[in-house]
């Protein structure tokens, strides 16, 4: 609902940063949020809205950040790709593909040295997995026995290039990483129960064994790579795939399933939607009314 509102309001030209929406990919971080604790440290990518919100990131500050306002979570410097809420253990994001992965190793090492019981969580796409930083980080996490959950959201595309054009046929990172000695989990993303169990097991594995693991879930972004709309007129994605994944939409299907079940509580679902709408309207109002940074603020926080 947050991103649908971003999409609806984007043409007002008040949000001047690029946005990479997670519509279609929201269920996995939502499931993970059922298990994570505030003290777990999480890091993410350019496509970070769902990760930030599911870790409890402040909505008002997120929207203000996207509006480039002083009250934003990065004081309006960063925009959509630079969300952070340290109080909630959401440690930041980076627009440089693959660059946040090594940071999760640092977070894992910090947790280990402190003897804390929490874990480090690193979200990334299958495109980032092709960066050298990924395999270097995985290697170090295995050797140093770090409590890091590597969470790969495989939406098959890096911008407009499909995975078939980028990787050898039948390449399996699950196999590669298992051979390196890492525990792996994989969900095809088409069945709620399967995804729930894989995410729960992956989280509990890292939490209890204090070792890294790799979790991959297949998913599909329902909107364009970057921007609030749809770019399927460009023809880089197969129309059939698009239809197939729209039907799979696990959030909608879960809602339908709940409504059909005996103890269904349609009033509760309606209430959740109304409550969300209220919070979203409030966040957009807050962002709109907040002050812009001063031009001179651009020179603060620089390395000299
Ligand atoms: C080092 C680097 N190379 C290229 C880019 C341009 N770029 C931005 S997003 C993106 C796609 C990344 O794909 P993936 O990691 O699968 O994430 P997704 O966008 O699918 O969520 C690319 C190539 C970049 N930001 N950083």
pLDDT tens for each residue of 259-303: 888 777 888 889 999 999 999 999 999 999 999 999 898 888 888
Does 2-297 carry CATH code 3.40.50.970?
Answer: yes
Residue 40 dihedral angles phi and psi, to the nearest 5°: -65, 140
- Residue nearest to ligand 1 atom 17, measured at CA: 125
What is the position in ligand 1's atom list of the atom closest to the CA of 99?
1
Please check whether residue 110 is in contact with residue 55, taking contact to mean a CB–CB distance below 8 angstroms.
no
CA of 157 to the centre of ligand 1 (A): 9
Spell out the residues 6+ positions from residue 209 whose beta carbon is closer than 8 angstroms to its own: 183
Question: For a pocket test of ligand 1, which of 97, 124, 154, 166 has the largest count of ligand atoms closer than 8 A to its C-beta?
Answer: 97
Q: How confident is the model at residue 260, as a pLDDT?
A: 87
Measured in Å, residue 104 CA sits from the centre of ligand 1 at: 18
Tell whether ligand 1 has an atom less than 6 A from the beta carbon of residue 96: yes
With CA atoms as reference, report the closest residue to 10 among 97, 80, 83: 80
Judged against a pLDDT cut of 80, whether residue 140 lies above it is answered with yes
pLDDT-above-90 percentage for the chain: 88
- Judge if the beta carbon of residue 95 lies within 6 A of ligand 1: yes
Contacts of 121 by beta carbon, 8 Å cutoff, 6+ apart: 32, 36, 40, 41, 42, 43, 104, 148, 149, 151
Which residue's alpha carbon is at the smallest distance from atom 3 of ligand 1? 97
Q: Is the shortest distance between the CB of 159 and ligand 1 below 6 Å?
A: yes
Res 258: pLDDT = 86
Q: How confident is the model over 160-211, as pLDDT tens digits?
A: 999 999 999 989 999 999 999 999 999 999 999 999 999 999 999 999 999 9
Which pLDDT belongs to residue 261? 81
Cβ of residue 155 lying under 6 Å from some atom of ligand 1: yes
pLDDT-derived band at 109 (thresholds 50, 70, 90) equals: very high
Domain parsing of the chain, residue ranges: 2-297
Asked if 148 and 187 count as a contact pair (C-beta separation under 8 A), the reply is: no
């Amino acid at each position: 609902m947050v991103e649908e509102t971003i999409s609806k309001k984007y043409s007002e030209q008040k949000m001047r940063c690029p946005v990479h929406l997670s519509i279609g990919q929201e269920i996995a971080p939502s499931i993970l949020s059922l298990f994570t604790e505030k003290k777990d440290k999480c890091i993410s990518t350019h496509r970070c809205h769902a990760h930030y919100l599911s870790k409890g990131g402040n909505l008002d500050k997120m929207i203000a950040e996207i509006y480039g306002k002083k009250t934003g979570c990065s004081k309006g410097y960063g925009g959509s790709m630079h969300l952070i809420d340290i109080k909630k253990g959401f440690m930041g994001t980076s627009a440089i593909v693959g660059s946040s992965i090594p940071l999760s190793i640092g977070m894992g090492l910090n947790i280990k040295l402190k003897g804390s019981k929490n874990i480090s969580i690193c979200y990334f796409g299958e495109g980032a997995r092709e960066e050298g930083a990924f395999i270097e980080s995985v290697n170090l996490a295995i050797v140093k026995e770090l409590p890091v959950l590597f969470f790969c959201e495989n939406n098959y595309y890096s911008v407009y290039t499909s995975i078939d054009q980028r990787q050898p046929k039948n390449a399996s990172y699950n196999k590669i990483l298992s051979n390196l000695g890492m525990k792996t989990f994989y969900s095809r993303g088409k069945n709620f129960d399967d995804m729930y169990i894989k995410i729960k097991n992956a989280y509990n594995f890292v939490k209890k064994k204090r070792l890294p693991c790799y979790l991959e879930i297949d998913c599909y972004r329902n909107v364009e790579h970057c921007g609030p709309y749809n770019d399927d007129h460009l023809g880089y994605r197969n129309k059939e795939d698009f239809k197939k994944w729209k039907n799979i939409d696990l959030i909608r299907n879960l809602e339908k399933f709940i409504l059909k079940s005996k103890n269904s509580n349609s009033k509760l679902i309606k209430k959740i939607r109304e409550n969300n709408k209220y919070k979203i309207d409030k966040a957009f109002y807050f962002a709109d009314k907040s002050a812009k940074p001063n031009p001179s603020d651009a020179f603060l926080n620089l390395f000299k």
